Amino acid sequence: MTVQNRTGAEPMRQPQPPQSVFHYRLTAADARAWERRDPAVRKRNRVALGLALLAGISLLATVTGHLPDWLSRLHSNALALSILLLPMGAVFLAQRRDLARRSLSRVPAPVEVRLEVWARRLAETRADRPEPLVLGAESLRDVVETEGHVFLTARSGTIILPAAAFPLPEAKRRFAAYWKDFAG
């Protein structure tokens, strides 16, 4: 349907209603599920653990020359393993703290979400955001389907859909497959 604009020069198209609308509640646990799968964060975490292992080897080489003789003979293997894993444990604890911080920054409190779906566009409206997050089909980078969620990522943000938003598991699979065709 077209409508005349104020000047009467060119007709404008009426906006089309969405093809489907999802209403669901997003929690910090849903955000945590995404933060665990975020490819950039996973890569950073692997690099940090590798560097921690190298730091542990360096620490072991430094400390073993300064241990008393009786201590190095008594518990050499267990002590060496403890010294080697100490930096990795510290990095692991820091990563867990960072995961919790990022999850809470993404979803500080449970929030109601309305997701409007068109053939080539998604619009997520949340009460804790002033503007909706709109993702076009061309802007999708990746679509990840897990048992409990569907994650749609683009440069402008990530839409998290819990499995509870779908009436049936098959509907979730079809939704993810449809949007995966656009991701690239």
Count H helices and E strands in the chain, helices first.
5, 9
Percent of the chain with pLDDT over 70: 85
Residue 74 is predicted with a pLDDT of 55
Residue 135 near residue 154 (C-beta atoms within 8 A): yes
β-strand partners of 3: 12
Regions of the chain with pLDDT less than 70: 1-12, 14, 64, 66-76, 184
Task: Give the pLDDT of residue 172.
Answer: 93
Give the pLDDT confidence score for residue 77 in this predicted structure: 75
HSE-CB of 138 using CA atoms within 13 angstroms? 0
Q: Which residues contact 184 (CB under 8 A, 6 or more apart)?
A: 140, 141
Residue 116 confidence (pLDDT) = 92
Q: Quick check: 50 and 34 in contact, CB under 8 A?
A: no
- Domains in the chain (CATH in brackets) are 17-28+108-180 (2.30.29.30), 36-106 (no CATH)
